[in-house]
Chains A and B, each alone.
Chain A
Amino acid sequence: MQAITHRDSCQKLYLSSQDASPFAKIALVCLAFGCGAKPVPQLDGPNEPVKQELSAKAPPQVESQPQPPELSIAPKESGAAGALPELDDSPSLIAQDISDLKEMATKIVDGMAIQFPNDPDAMEAKARYYRMIGKLDVAKACWVHAIEQVPNYGYAHQGLGSIALRNSDYAGAVDSLKEAVKFMPGDVTAVHELSDALMKKGDSPEAIQVLEAQIAIKPKSGDTLQLLGQARLANRDYEGASDAFQKSLELAPDNHLSQQGLGAALVRLGKREEAKKWLIQQKSARSTSNMDSSVAQAAERADIAARLTYAAQVYLKHEKPDLALEVLRVAAANEPRDEESRRLMVKLYQQVNKPNQAIEIAKQLAEISPNNLGYRMTIGTISLRQKDWATAQESFAFVVETMPSRPEGYAAMVELSIVSGKNMEKAIELAKTVTELRGTAADFATYGQTLAMNGKLPDAIAAMKIASMKDPESQNFKSILEQLMKSQGTR
């Protein structure tokens, strides 16, 4: 089964706070506010969103494309192709089994690629899907086509490199992956695959160079250091290998490949007893059994959901949020625990002004990942916009209660009080807490606002002075301060 790379797992989220409405901005921040185990998406990192990619590379002539056919993604049995029900995981969206789901997904991905044949992102989405289901010839053709459209499309070069690597065409893999690294400098997957290809080509010295360059860019990567150790080991630089493995283990103590590599290096340095310790430790860390069939099938569903989410992003990029939503609903309906598709759905339902649906999906997310308080924040924020004060209050209170040392929950409750005009006295206390926990200029401004709304002008002026002091460039703060002082003078 194909491993899903970091990028594959829908990290190219079309989430940009620059073009979102104020409320949506809060929702976006909330979605990204990972209080649980999930990492906060790196919107500015190497896994740039599709939108950013498009801006960097010539956008396809969407208007000149053939008219998109209707999506026909419902299973055969339903007979209901095309438009999907308004909300929820209708039975018609749910595949009978994994084969049925694969058939649905294939239709979606093929349909998407037909609509945007000159969009390299569409080709990329299709290629990764087909690679996952084992049709590597189709994947390869998609990547070749993507490069024909945009020669510097790094993902396609990386895809071709990975196929060449798999086919033991090490020279071809090196060529493609060097192109990928050239167009995506610092991309971890491409660099790691390039080093692998170089090693297999028998060029461990160049693999070392490539990995050392990567470490210069991202010195805190345990995986890269582990690969560096491996390359040095192949190059019979046992001291260097030992050093790299040790540094890797400082960053990731449980990396069993680093433990094994360190053991191997130590054996070759004549330190057999020390080596034994690492070798035994790494062995015990390795799994000895396959995942249960049901778990494996769930993983496959998750893989398909991730690829569909990717396809949805392509629709979104082409400003077809309705079609994106249709695809996402298939993904979500067939993978009850998939978060990425649902996260994007929340965003899109807000964009198409369907806040109730957005809240429903956000509630699903909160159920899937109860520790991710960002989902609670999202529910609260959308409820706030809907003037559902009780739900908003409940959500924000949950966040405050769960993580009292984080300012976001308090700030949201303050926002709620300001918008609803309720509990204004309490809002002062909460806003003050925010200034203590975070203390940005905006926090002091909000604190000042609550004080002013409660008629405590001197305190409000004091707070606004701090805000202005913290952000002396802000004309807004200055203006508010002047107004407050004027009001006080009037009094």
Chain B
Amino acid sequence: MPINLHLWLVPGLCLAGFLLNLVFGRLWGKSIAGAVGVGFSGLALLAALWVAHRWSGAPYIEPHATWFLAGPLRVSFGLFLDPLSLLMMLIVTGVGFLIHLYSLGYMSEEGGFYRYFSLLNLFLFFMLTLVLAGNYLLLFAGWEGVGFASYILIGFFFRRDAAARAGIKAFVVNRIGDFGFLLGLFLIFARFGSFNYQTVFARAATLPVESGWHGPLTVIALLLLVGALGKSAQLPLYIWLPDAMEGPTPVSALIHAATMVTAGVYMIARSAVIYDHSPAARSLVLAIGALTAIFAASIGVLQRDIKRILAYSTISQIGYMFMACGVAAYGAGVFHLMTHAFFKALLFLGAGSVIHAMHGEQDIFRIRSLAPGGLKRYAPITFWTFVIATCAISGIPGFSGYFSKDLILERVFAATSGAGRIWWALGLVAAFLTAFYMFRALFVTFFPAPAGAPESAAHPTGQEPAGAAAAGGHGNPENAPRHALPHESPAVMTIPLLGLAVLAALGGYLNWGDRLLHFLAPAFSPTPNAVAYRPLPPFLTAGVQHALMALTIAVALGGLLLAWVLYRRRPRAAAQWAEAVPGLYRLVFNKYWVDEFFDAVLITPLRAISHWVLWRGVDDGLIAGSLRGIGGGLLKTSDGLRRQISGSLRSYAAWIAAGACAAVIYMGWLTLR
């Protein structure tokens, strides 16, 4: 009998914080509401550490009340702890706590303080439910819950149409993903008769590895992938994430960078057994990951809004994690997930600090022009932590991101051959672009403008980017006077920055000697004894490994160098290059017109149907019909052509008669044939 870990305490504490603030928050002042919010997330972190301390290392199931029982369908609230969920739990509570702390300072001027903290706690509760769930259905519940919490948080504090639309967009796109996910879940149940991880994986492990695209496990894997694409903002369902940046910056840091968006990766890693049985599905994961990585990175190159740059870099980095999962290197993917959580949270919090310092300005070029002598003079802690994070994400050797990204590229290289190496090459190019645009952001934001730099960077078309223009000025609703000088953030904001900076700098060493991979390995294999830590293929000798490593380093430094040249040394060159290929520039600058494409293909027809057929037809018809009184005749709609549906009583009767006629024809055909 294993000791009782009281795993439920971890999400339970967050739920308690949520409820307390929800019920009493209005009565409390800001200080108590903040203390409760931060305190309970801190307690959750302590509980998580306590659990980690007492955990024996064997997979641990904590059964709780049956949630749902209907015929063969039995789902419990059971929680589950294994290396993977332990790591995720620590990431979520650790990063979550720091961001809570940071929010104390960042949101101090905002209204609805208690509501913000209660929702943030609610988000943590759902996220912990997601990672600690013992079955797919509870995972799905957490999955939906984080989506909802994020949707509310995006829209809550920003009474702007853009925020409201972004919230809905996020939710609807996620529903598309969830649709696939749910379908996958039903297939899992149909196939294995259970939602429980243990049962499903044990049964799946006995099935043969499938070839081709038609095997049941492949179909399940593909459907789960659809869900993961939505949640983790991968091609083609990534469109919601950049818009989600309308929310408060700590929310972006917590939800849209560190935790929620990586849930897709977690889910795929959790379903490792299923993906192991389907090379076809894995190859798709790899391709999507690589394409997303390069696609998003190339968009990031030309963005001007600091939060948008980070949003695209998030999408791109998650692409790496998908690539890792695509070559069955789940451990490497989760490793990158962890380091990414550290440095991306740091980047966002740093960006928040910058925005805070600049009184709401988000356009990096304007920040530069508004901070004479460079922002680094005014906000040194923010600057130095931002430097660390930028080095980490760019893969500068010694920083955390370097270890995980190098590992992923190495595994992708090892697992592919021939034409398959294209994915590896794409990953490498994306790494170059990442280093370039992140250092571009760093140089432009924090350094003074070099002599001879155009005031507003290169704009061959002369147009002001819509996103930057909209975001500039009201990113933070409380707008201090614009002429105030930039200032460093208060300690309550810089302490989390420093904490995360340590993690971002040193987090990579957790995997020293592949320790983390060994630790995680049991989570990816169903049977305790199987060796899931995959040995490297023989051609990957130490020499090749070192060559790859050198290549990664060279690419990262190359990106750094290019950014330095373009934005520090020869500021005119960037504009000249852009002028040389205006078409490409515009294409990339406008994010490949993907949003417009989606609008044209999906949203517009749906709206048109709803508008013209149902609204103009039925609805207008009805209102006009009732004005004329019952029995009033045909409605003359404005265009005079659409007279199918009048909204009058008689046409309703005609509908019913027609329906009855159809039913009777069908049944009559049965009896008279």
A and B interact: no
